[in-house]
Amino acid sequence: MLYHLPFARHLYEQQNLSLPLLFFTDLGMTYYPKAGVMPYFMLMHGEREYLLKFAQLPFVLIGALSVYLLMCHARWRRQIAVAGAASFCLLGPVMAQASLCFVDLMMTSTFMAALYYFYTQERRDTLLALLAGGLLIGTKSFALLFLFVALPLLLPRFRDKLRGPWIWCGGAFLIVIAGYNYWQNLFLTGNPVYPGQVSIAGFTVFPGLYEYARESIVAAFAGLMRHNLGWAGASVPTLAVLLPFPVLVSVAFAYRESKLLLYVIAAPWVAICLYAILVPPYYHGEQVRHLLPAYAASLIGLMYLLQRLQRFGWVAYIVPLILFVPRLDNRIVLVGSVIILAVVSGVYWVCRKFERTVYGIIIPIAAGLLFLIVWQIPLLDRVYLENRNLVFHKVYGDRGAIWAFVDKNSGGGKRIAHVGLFYNYTLRGGHLQNTVVYQSVNSPEVLPVHEYPRRRIPAPWTLPQIESVYRSNPSVEIWLRGLISGNVDWIVVNNASEAIEKTWIRDRPEQFRLIYGNSYGAVYAFH
């Protein structure tokens, strides 16, 4: 709600690829890659907010199929491949993100797809590998790291793979289309990953807004190993327990195997090492979810060990069982899992009953019909809207109460200016009827951060440091002029904010009428 859905709504409203401006928060969000929000953008055309919950579900299937196909291509036993695919679906973060509006699952699944297509070493698959790599780097900037992990698999038979126009088409997609946001940032700011500053050995390659503190690689690596991947309700051990067992032990067993397979098994460690070296420690804490692709890829090493147990193939099914059992106490997860199991079993039976062409015909048609049915059931929309605000209030307290007030009282739609940090998307209402903006205090026109005078902010930053970039020399006359020219109806204020607009509003009761307030914030009508 902080930036993925506002990005999608910005694309929907503006119908162009301009920068979606976010303020009172991490300024880097405005410059993030946008390909990951495209599924949300497309679902917004259905005018049913609950459809956004389905945006990441296809990527569960993509990731599971990639794991399955990779293991089949390595000529492992089918039950091992099935257990690997099932384990991917049952990973805690995967299950959690399947119904959440993030992009980490998209990043993970496209990485697994790229890993598979690069691993096959087929010329025809190189195009698909480059397409998957393009989708990968379009999810978020950190995905560049995982593309670097997969690219070495392109080196064997490199000259042979370069033959044919499809390869050049894939390369063009990867560089030009998938890399669009990086090119956009480079042309606008002089830095493809703005606002992060890129330095090598103390030399600044790309100047940026954020200046990161560095620490030794050993300290960074040790810090990562202490992190727990249970960030999304998953009972997952630390990376130090998770990765060495399936990866290092598998590498020890697989040293006589194909060098390609050996590299694929070691890919999680390669990713962890690159993450420790290239990514500033500032992101190693709460953002450990960025390592979900490495977590998923570690399944390959684990399943390789089970593949070697020739007489005990059934042991492979213990892994998904171990992942599933801790969730049996959640009734919703249990019911959902039973439904998914029934659907998957039905699909499997149909595929076994009919010709293999059914994969490309019946399954997409059935999925499309199911989606249309869900989309067109009015009851679902009504039930969702009735419970939406109740859930917000229960989870977010008074902040959710403000969202509920705005939703219920904005009629056919209001133009709302926010002061302080909000989850701006929720202020748009259940039918996305409202437009949410930030009004600058020093310019009638709201400018992107890179157009303000250049400065550097040490990370981790504070909110006053962030606001000093774009809120210097405030003027109430300019602010009011911007509100009038922008046809603003309401102003929503965060009580915790120290913004000067709060004083301006308090001093002008004839222009700003309080219509709702609680401990979190207040809503004013602007006249």
| Residue type (1 letter), 393 | H
Q: Tell me the CA distances in angstroms from 515 to 284, 492, 525, one per residue in order.
A: 42, 10, 7
- The 3-state DSSP class for residue 22 equals coil
Q: What is the pLDDT of residue 252?
A: 64
Angle at 225 between CA 199 and CA 252, to 5 degrees: 105
**Torsions phi, psi of 381, nearest 5?**
-65, -40
Q: What is the pLDDT of residue 180?
A: 93
The answer to whether 401 and 518 have CB atoms below 8 angstroms apart is yes
Q: What is the pLDDT of residue 352?
A: 60
Q: What is the pLDDT of residue 236?
A: 46
DSSP 220-252: HHHHHHT-BSGGGS----BHHHHTIIIIIHHHH
Q: Rounded to 10 degrees, what is the CA torsion of 296, 302, 308, 311?
A: -100
Taken in order 402, 406, 408, 409, the sign of the CA dihedral is positive
Q: What is the pLDDT of residue 301?
A: 84
Q: What is the pLDDT of residue 234?
A: 40
Tokens representing residue 298 in the block: 């570690």
Q: What is the pLDDT of residue 438?
A: 94
Supply the Cα-derived Rg of the chain in whole angstroms: 25
Q: What is the pLDDT of residue 481?
A: 95
Q: Write out pLDDT tens, residues 330-378.
A: 655 566 566 555 655 665 566 566 555 555 555 566 666 666 555 555 5
Mark the ranges of the chain whose per-residue pLDDT is less than 50.
Answer: 230-237, 241
The span from the CA of 432 to the CA of 69, in Å, is 40
Q: Which phi-psi region, left, alpha or beta, contains residue 9 (left: φ > 0; alpha: ψ -120 to 50)?
A: alpha
- The 3-state DSSP class for residue 490 equals strand
Tokens representing residue 419 in the block: 């002061």
**b or e along 281-290 (b: 16 or more beta carbons within 10 Å of the residue's beta carbon)?**
bbbbeeebbb
Query: β-strands 521-526, 512-517: how paired?
Result: antiparallel
**Torsions phi, psi of 138, nearest 5?**
-80, -10
Q: Tell me the CA distances in angstroms from 283 to 37, 102, 279, 399, 503, one per residue in order.
A: 21, 17, 7, 27, 35
Q: What is the pLDDT of residue 144?
A: 94
**DSSP tag of 271:** H
What size, in residues, is the chain?
Answer: 527
The answer to whether 426 and 179 have CB atoms below 8 angstroms apart is no
Angle at 330 between CA 341 and CA 382, to 5 degrees: 80
Q: What is the pLDDT of residue 247?
A: 63
Q: What is the pLDDT of residue 233?
A: 41
Q: Token pair 């969202």 is at which residue?
A: 403
The answer to whether 498 and 487 have CB atoms below 8 angstroms apart is no
Q: What is the pLDDT of residue 70?
A: 94
